[in-house]
Amino acid sequence: MTRTSMRLTAVGLAALALVAALSFQPSHAQAPAGDGIVALTGARVIDGTGRAPIEQGTIVINGNGRIQAVGPANSVQVPRGATRVDLAGKTIMPGLINAHAHVQYFKELADPVRDQLVRRLRMYAEYGVTANVSLGSTEADELEGLKLRDEQSRGPLDRARVYTGGLNAVGKTPDEARKSVDRLADLKVDVIKFHINGTPNDMTTDTWSAIIDEAHKKGLRTYVHIFYLKDAQAAVDKGLDVIAHSVRDQDVTPKLIADMKANNVAYIPTLTRDLSVFVYETRPAFFDDPFFQRGISLYRDHVNLVSDPARQEKVRNDKNAQAIKPALQQAMKNLKTLSDAGVTIAMGTDSGVTGAQNLGRWQGYFEHVELEYMVKAGMTPMQTIVAATGGAARATKLDTDLGTIQAGKLADLLVLNANPLTDIKNTRQINSVWIGGRRLGARATR
């Protein structure tokens, strides 16, 4: 039975109707015909649900930046006075959601914390990544990240949305672990993230399962960093919600798959995280990609650092770095298995994390490389797009507002000059990015 069908009791239906009435009427009242309404016309619409695209679609966006109607041109009426934007020949898909991002402050850069976080979120947005779930702050940026999260409900945005877990939950004892979660819950974080690295320094099972238990008591979902199958299975056994990295040591088992499906556990492969561990053993060809160069204002410092021949040689001679090559192959194999089995996959990259060993995870560019690798792993372009939009929104429980092009959702959109269903690399053919119904880079009109 699906979650939706379980909820459709008589009481549930009445509540749903009430919620629908309450949420629909204010936007209707504030946006009479033509007032701030935008109609995007003539484009192919990939709505993020996995359904076949609408050719010659129309999307009507209300004055509050939400989608009012979507469908084939002949079935959607454009309100009189609406601003029409002709997008014939283009493809519109939901903005990308990065379910495993980091929006952290790099101390070696001198700008104030807030300015830098905004700059990073702007870069994500320019690349069409309109929402990010930050699975781990640093002490320098934890509170500013939460502030930015709070501000984004208040008005037009010229940057990507951010949702954040604050600092990772930790503890030496179950009691400390619970206190760590309580502190984060008091800060009103969106998610709880913790680590099981598979090393002797790990928290005990009792301690990390106290994190899951306490988080659930506070109504928060839990995300875990893992590498090994046994740790993924152990976390799922204890009620974990989202696996935030690939299983990279061996094939996933039928038991893990069955347990993930039974408990609705989502999976974020973060393939480019693994790529970044070894790819700078030489100068990667993508440094010359004009699409990469678009982000150079943010990327330059790290490009210089990873281009240092001494660092390149170190990566070539580092046993751990080289061991990630087969681990990435294993990750790709497991992704295909889990996707075929119907597990919810969410796109995520682990981009934007600080630390000298984490260089070269390009916020904005790597999300597109991630999509490319998901297709290389054997997912179809449509499955990959869903994982980066509607699937990511479901995995992160942001699907009330985000992830699909459907009436009532926020109009966070990626307009492309070419069809990503024929080649996933066409997500890089960006025509424009829309956040909350406003075109990025356009002057504020509301």
Binding site for Zn ion (CB under 5 A): 135, 350
Contact criterion met (CB below 8 Å) for 53 and 44 = yes
d(CA 346, CA 132): 12
Provide the minimum distance between the beta carbon of 340 and Zn ion in the complex, in angstroms, as a whole number. 26
Stated length of the chain = 446
d(CA 242, CA 232): 10
Nearer of residues 102 and 149 to Zn ion, judged by Cβ? 102
Q: What tokens appear for 431 in the block?
A: 């025509």
Nearer of residues 350 and 370 to Zn ion, judged by Cβ? 350
d(CA 342, CA 379): 12
Nearer of residues 135 and 379 to Zn ion, judged by Cβ? 135
Nearer of residues 54 and 135 to Zn ion, judged by Cβ? 135
Per-residue b or e along 178-206, where b marks 16 or more CB atoms closer than 10 Å to that residue's CB: bebbeebbeeebbbbbbbbeeeeeebeee
Residue found under tokens 């598979």: 198
The residues pairing with 84 across neighbouring beta strands, listed in sequence order, are 39
Provide the minimum distance between the beta carbon of 167 and Zn ion in the complex, in angstroms, as a whole number. 12
Amino acid letter, residue 100: H
Provide the minimum distance between the beta carbon of 108 and Zn ion in the complex, in angstroms, as a whole number. 19
Contact criterion met (CB below 8 Å) for 97 and 393 = yes
Provide the minimum distance between the beta carbon of 372 and Zn ion in the complex, in angstroms, as a whole number. 20
Cβ atoms within 10 A of the Cβ of 283, count?
14
Nearer of residues 44 and 361 to Zn ion, judged by Cβ? 361
Q: What tokens appear for 294 in the block?
A: 């678009």
Provide the minimum distance between the beta carbon of 222 and Zn ion in the complex, in angstroms, as a whole number. 14
Nearer of residues 103 and 118 to Zn ion, judged by Cβ? 103
Provide the minimum distance between the beta carbon of 354 and Zn ion in the complex, in angstroms, as a whole number. 11
Burial, 376: exposed, middle or buried (Cβ in 10 Å; 0-12, 13-18, 19+)?
middle
Cβ atoms within 10 A of the Cβ of 339, count?
23
Nearer of residues 168 and 426 to Zn ion, judged by Cβ? 168
| Four-CA torsion 371, 372, 376, 377, nearest 10 degrees | -20
Provide the minimum distance between the beta carbon of 135 and Zn ion in the complex, in angstroms, as a whole number. 5
The residues pairing with 54 across neighbouring beta strands, listed in sequence order, are 45
Nearer of residues 37 and 135 to Zn ion, judged by Cβ? 135
Q: Which residue is nearest to Zn ion (CB)?
A: 350
Provide the minimum distance between the beta carbon of 268 and Zn ion in the complex, in angstroms, as a whole number. 9
